[in-house]
Structure 1
Amino acid sequence: MTASFAVVTVTFSSGDYLHNFLRTLPSASTQTPQVVIADNGSTDGAPEQAVADHDNVTLVHTGGNIGYGGAVNRGVAEIDPEVEFVLVANPDVEWSPGAIDELLAAATRWPRAASLGPLITEPDGGVYPSARRVPDLVSGSGHAILGAIWKSNPWTAAYRNDDAERTERPVGWLSGSCLLLRRVAFDNVGGFDSRYFMFMEDVDLGDRLGRSGWLNVFVPTASVMHAKSHSVSRHPEKMIPAHHESAYRFNADRNPGPLRAPLRVALRAGLAIRSKIAVAAALREQRRSGDHA
């Protein structure tokens, strides 16, 4: 019997993370889904080993590091359109028992839900704020520029939606690190915007789904653990600028035209300065960690 969902994950030398992803996946659902690995140029052999170890895993080479959203779109294209749901997840996710079945049950309760996301925990047991409001220019810019240096600023609090109750409810957008997507809705909005190399593609997707009349629903009765951005910690000099470029693209797309050009110029300048500061701090921390290793 064909599963009602398929899984897409994107790899870039993900190593043991991918092994743990596939090891814990069977506990998350009573169904056995097709798993598509969209590989962005791994050199560690982990995707090939996964295919050898698991009959339900398919490997698709994207032809290079095309970014997260573009690779997800490539993976989704391999799935039969008759499969109702696609579960998109980072390879550094570990599944809790029944997590996917909880998401599927919620999808039945919310027939207008285009995306559904679980409670996401971090390795230290903390809860990642994965269900957030869509940022406007003021809150998005305030968070992007000040979030790392003034963590309690009001724009970051509004963006992260920290005060919201941990209940099943519609939200502005959900973390793309683990996201159950209704295929018809995903196709309806054209999938992820591949202009986003990494970061903010999930914010953009949630916003476009909402603008198209669909819902994004947070389902805290489902949970997964996310090791959280191992690529970012390894390559801050590439990933941090990509994050800031995505933040600019998101806000610039929603504030077009000549009248708002000064706002876009100011935003780009602020983000460029913040990016340089963040990269320098991350590289210093890398060197400090290496000195104490």
Structure 2
Amino acid sequence: MTDKLKVSFISINYNSSNYTIELIKSIEKFTTVAYEIIVVDNASKENDYNSLYDYVNNDSKIQLIKNTSNEGFASGNMLGTKYASGEYFFFINNDTRLLNDASSVMLEYLNIHENISLATAKVNDENGNFSSSYKLFPSITKELFGNSIARKFSKHNFPSNKIKLDKPTLVEVVSGSCMFFRASDFTNIGGFNKDFFLYCEEEDLSKRVWNYGKEVIFLPDAEIFHHSGGSSIKSFEMEREYYISYNILINQHFNKLNVIILKLLLLFKLFRRSFKRKNGWKLFLFGLKGCPKKLSLRFN
């Protein structure tokens, strides 16, 4: 390439090559800056991997990395960064697609604002409505009193994810489906924590950006579409995986007393839901056992 490489798109494929191909098409359609695409295949079935290989073969802008085992979202993305050369890393779910030149919008903003390390785009759902692009980090106040009260106690008075924002706005946690990082800052904070197999990676990364002294922002002029649950299947095992990750998250970011309180609040929530939801009792019993990591999908 004659132009200096600006953006490395990094995405994970796992038995969903049809989504990955649509994402690649959208990147090729809209992106105007110098870019590369790195797809890490997390040990998909042979026919799925071959479909993706046949599509990307001989495209100099695309690197397809084949993992011998499914190491999860965090580890897969970290593998992708080893092959990335861009000034910015655009971690994007394979079940999304660009709706405009989102990478240019976010790149131009971060170029001007050196205090920003991490950005996310406006995420749209199947009906063209704004979906969730940002949220709050877990806290005792949030668990006890809800998001509205928790926001009032926040230093930055972070916005509700239910309102329509039309200008760049600081947020506490970005959507894991769309994370645009200054590569140097990503490296300086240590990248993805491989302890997470699935879920809570965005909370952990966003929190570490704030702890690093930099900021996280939502940029509504950058837009993507996200299939709801396109790359994963909802099941008891997937719900269980979330609570394993949640426990890892709070253990790493809270002191012992707060961890105990948050775990008790989680048990109370699971107990209340046990009467109403499918697999409710199973999840409550799982919580009583402490959400052991040995039952993670990582080991199955």
Report the TM-score range of the alignment, normalised by the length of the smaller protein. 0.7 to 0.9
What corresponds to 2:207 in structure 1? 207
2:124 to 106, 115, 121: 121
- The range that moved more, 65-74 or 46-55, is 46-55
Q: 1 CA distance for matches of 2:259 and 2:179?
A: 34
Question: Aligned letter for 1:167?
Answer: K
Q: How does 1:1-293 map to 2 (within 5 A)?
A: 1-43=3-45, 44-45=48-49, 46-52=51-57, 54-80=59-85, 83-139=86-142, 141=143, 154-155=146-147, 161-163=161-163, 165-232=165-232, 234-257=233-256, 259-260=257-258, 262-267=260-265, 269-270=267-268, 273=271, 274=273, 280=279
Q: Measure how far apart 1:23 and its partner are.
A: 0.9
1:12-69: per-residue Cα shift (whole Å, max 9, x none)? 1113111110111123321342111111111112432332263311111233111111
For structure 1, the residue ranges without an aligned partner over 5 or more in a row are: 143-152, 282-293
Distance 1:133 1:53, change over 3 A: same
For structure 2, the residue ranges without an aligned partner over 5 or more in a row are: 152-159, 281-300
Distance 1:32 1:26, change over 3 A: farther
Q: Measure how far apart 1:164 and its partner are.
A: 6.9
Q: What SS class does the counterpart of residue 243 from structure 1 fall into?
A: helix
Answer whether contact 1:11 1:40 (CA < 8 A) is retained. yes
Q: 1 CA distance for matches of 2:109 and 2:53?
A: 34
TM-score normalized by the length of structure 1: 0.81
Q: What SS class does the counterpart of residue 114 from structure 2 fall into?
A: coil
Q: 2 CA distance for matches of 1:47 and 1:238?
A: 27
Q: What SS class does the counterpart of residue 245 from structure 2 fall into?
A: helix
Question: Aligned letter for 1:263?
Answer: I
1:193-216: per-residue Cα shift (whole Å, max 9, x none)? 111111110011001001101111
Q: 2 CA distance for matches of 1:267 and 1:113?
A: 33
Question: Aligned letter for 1:37?
Answer: V
Determine what percentage of the aligned residue pairs are the same residue. Answer: 19
Q: 2 CA distance for matches of 1:241 and 1:265?
A: 15
Q: 2 CA distance for matches of 1:158 and 1:264?
A: 14
- The range that moved more, 160-169 or 116-125, is 160-169
Distance 1:278 1:254, change over 3 A: farther
Distance 1:154 1:261, change over 3 A: closer
Q: What SS class does the counterpart of residue 35 from structure 2 fall into?
A: coil
1:209-248: per-residue Cα shift (whole Å, max 9, x none)? 011011111110010001122243x242322111122222
Q: What SS class does the counterpart of residue 97 from structure 2 fall into?
A: strand
Aligned residues: 266
Q: Measure how far apart 1:278 and its partner are.
A: 5.1
- The range that moved more, 198-207 or 272-281, is 272-281
Q: 2 CA distance for matches of 1:2 and 1:96?
A: 24
Q: 2 CA distance for matches of 1:261 and 1:18?
A: 38
Q: 1 CA distance for matches of 2:59 and 2:20?
A: 12
- The range that moved more, 111-120 or 244-253, is 244-253
Q: What SS class does the counterpart of residue 68 from structure 1 fall into?
A: helix
Q: What SS class does the counterpart of residue 57 from structure 2 fall into?
A: helix
TM-score normalized by the length of structure 2: 0.80
1:86-129: per-residue Cα shift (whole Å, max 9, x none)? 11100111111222111111112321211111100011212112
